[in-house]
Chain A
Amino acid sequence: MSKRVVKPEDITAKCAAFIAEQLQRPVASVHLDTEFDDFGLDSALVTSMLIELEEWLGVELSPSLVFEEPTVRRLSLAISQRLLEA
């Protein structure tokens, strides 16, 4: 499979859309620096978000990543870093 170039902003937008959909709130209210926990997202749900990202990007991500990088911005940066290394 050919590697796609994915900008961190794209990942950020994807995460925000997922959170907004799951919690049924407007995307604009999903702040990028709020910790997942403070949204009321638990480990079960952020694991689901990771599954969605894995499928979309075609890479394998460890579920521990969402605990090491617990905000949308930090997670997106970490993932885009990983894509560059891959």
Chain B
Amino acid sequence: MDFEQEYQSLFTAPDPTGRRRKAIDSPYLHRKQRVHFVLFDVLPFFGTILAVALVPVFGLGWPELAACAVMWLITGFGISVGYHRLLAHRSFKTRKGLRAAFAVAGSMAGQGGVISWVAMHRRHHECADREGDFHSPQLHGGGFIGRLRGMVHAHLTWMAAHAYPNVAHYAPDLLRSPELAWINRNYYPIVIAGWLLPGLACGLVIGSWSGFLTGFLWGGMVRMFLLEQGIWSLNSFCHMWGRREFPTRDHSRNIGWMAPLIFGESWHHNHHAFPGSASFGLRWYRIDPGYWLIAALRSAGLAWDVKVPSPDQIAQRSIAATRAANYSLPLSGRQRK
């Protein structure tokens, strides 16, 4: 593995000639992406409005709130711990069955099939905030208008039609797992199951068809809308505003107050500085529920080889240390070994 891959924790396939095509843009794929966008990115917004509008009609009881909370937790940990920290960056190891369960939970979030998601995320790190990054807010010009357009693109509209990564290049490890390939192929049925299950649960608990409807709306639509807003904020806000601590080549930022709302993911700058780290908070006192789950799994013997940088490594990478050592400062190219 070369330095770049090691540094970014990318795990892409070797490309000795350096000429492999890494992404494809095609009207056919754009049409499929638009369907996905309407179903899983636009529909939940209207579903949430409907859910709130129906509260005076059917009321809002603990079954719906529980369904919403439980599904938000399942899909949120599925994305943060499963898709992101386990599969895209391999920051810890776990059993096959648990890995598959994480992939199913992540699929239910409706943010893309597991192989596509991981391939796109690895490309995001490779190109971060430069040409080729699917969802950078920084490539739409300067000034207020340029920044606003960049923000809307990164938060939402990029998903309506985008380049598609060459998965054989970006996710060769996932393609070789029959379970993950199966989960990727059955992505749509899994997302729909994630809508229907909370409906079914609430329908049975409440004992009526209206219970099925409100369960579907709160456990399916509202939780999908809430989780999406959090994850999309990483692409938009966490590449625009917030604190920086390390010299990185991208515009990533830490937004601490958002951490409890998105499973610790908003320590996004830390993540770009240490992509292979299972912990995004990097300090024990920072809120990082995704890492807490990994730590709990480790205590239970279900996770091992959990990668976290030592305090020394973190201190050495800080901007102060870099400045003291007279290295080049943020955004200038990093020296290759």
Contacts and interface: CB of A to CB of B under 8 A. Distances in A.
Do A and B come from the same complex? yes
Interface of A: 18, 22-24, 37, 40, 42, 44-45, 47-52, 54-55, 62-64
Interface-centre pick from B21, B26, B175 (highest chain A CB count, 10 A) = B175
Contacts of A64: 28
16 contacts: A22-B172, A22-B175, A22-B176, A23-B176, A24-B176, A44-B113, A44-B115, A44-B167, A44-B184, A47-B24, A47-B166, A50-B24, A51-B24, A62-B28, A63-B26, A64-B28
A68 B276 CA distance: 40
A48 B169 contact: yes
Contact of A40 (B19, B113, B181): B181
Interface of B: 19-21, 24, 26-29, 113, 115-116, 119, 164, 166-169, 172, 175-176, 178, 181-182, 184-185
A50 B24 CA distance: 10
B185 to A, nearest CB: 4
B184 A48 contact: no
Contacts of B181: 40, 42, 45
Contacts of A22: 168, 172, 175-176
A82 to B, nearest CB: 15
A42 B178 CA distance: 11
A48 to B, nearest CB: 4
Contact of A48 (B27, B113, B168, B182): B168
Contacts of B164: 47, 63
Given A42-B181, A44-B116, A63-B24, 4 more contacts: A42-B185, A44-B119, A44-B167, A55-B19
A24 B175 CA distance: 10
A47 B178 contact: no
Contacts of B169: 48
A18 B20 CA distance: 14
A82 B205 CA distance: 58
Contacts of A49: 168
Given A44-B115, A63-B28, A55 B175 contact: no
Contacts of B116: 44
B115 to A, nearest CB: 5
Nearest to B169: A48
Contacts of B184: 42, 44
A51 B182 contact: no
Given A47-B29, A48-B169, A63-B24, A40 B119 contact: no
Nearest to A48: B168
Nearest to A39: B181
Nearest to B27: A62
Interface-centre pick from A37, A44, A52 (highest chain B CB count, 10 A) = A44
B176 A48 contact: no
A64 B116 CA distance: 17
A73 B277 CA distance: 45
A51 B166 contact: yes
Interface-centre pick from B21, B29, B113, B167 (highest chain A CB count, 10 A) = B167
B29 A63 contact: yes
Nearest to B178: A40
Contacts of B168: 18, 22, 45, 48-49, 51-52
Contact of B26 (A45, A48, A55, A62): A62
Nearest to A18: B168
A74 to B, nearest CB: 18
Contacts of B113: 42, 44
B21 A51 contact: yes
A62 B28 CA distance: 7
B229 to A, nearest CB: 26
Given A40-B181, A48-B167, A55 B20 contact: yes
